[in-house]
Structure 1
Amino acid sequence: MLNELERNLQDAMSVTRNIYNEPFILAGGGAVEMAVGKILSEKAKSITGVHQWPYKAIQKALEVIPRTLIQNCGGDTIRTLTALRAKHATTSADNKTWGINGETGELADISKLGIWEPLSVKLQAYKTAVE
């Protein structure tokens, strides 16, 4: 019992440290992955030859997050992911927070649903994935 309390306290202290060091949040639901993927795709178009491959590979890997959310909700993966790509392809700043509603598997403005993720968690996940 005491070990469990110690572990819970350690977890709470780590969360507090992360929030203090990186007090920023990002939209969840795959919105960030799609927005970053769009930027990487545009960068890949400006580069020729094999040097564009890493950008394309990471962009494709980032799309796994919204695809998995759609699949887990029983949604139509191809249509919904295509619609999400189209939403992020427009230049409107409002479209950067569009992602997948984790309950319905449909497109939604994630910021209006209040689905947020800590920046520190995203950064660590990206660093670990690229290493």
Structure 2
Amino acid sequence: MSHNESQIKDEFFQDVEKYPYKTVSHALQIILRTLIQNYGIDGETDQLVDMHKFGVYEPIAVKMQSIKTAFETTVLLLRIDDIVPYAKKASMLAE
């Protein structure tokens, strides 16, 4: 993506509209950092090892499910954040 295209997209989204995209981007970066940190470590010796030589393979289905779960969790948390303030207001009105 060229710099001009990026600038056009930044101008397109208003500040508030950027938050969900930034949040998802940040969440995916955390997942990638965690995978990189844990990749290639022998749990018994705490040494870095070549996973192919060590005989450990992770199917693509596992990675796909991890990413799907991350998105589902994010959506659930966003919904909870929307519901909780309304629940507090409802309980205050009931009193």
TM-score by length of 1: 0.32
The structure that is strand-richer by fraction is 1
Larger RCO (CA under 8 A, 6+ residues apart)? 1
Structure label with greater radius of gyration: 2
TM-score by length of 2: 0.40
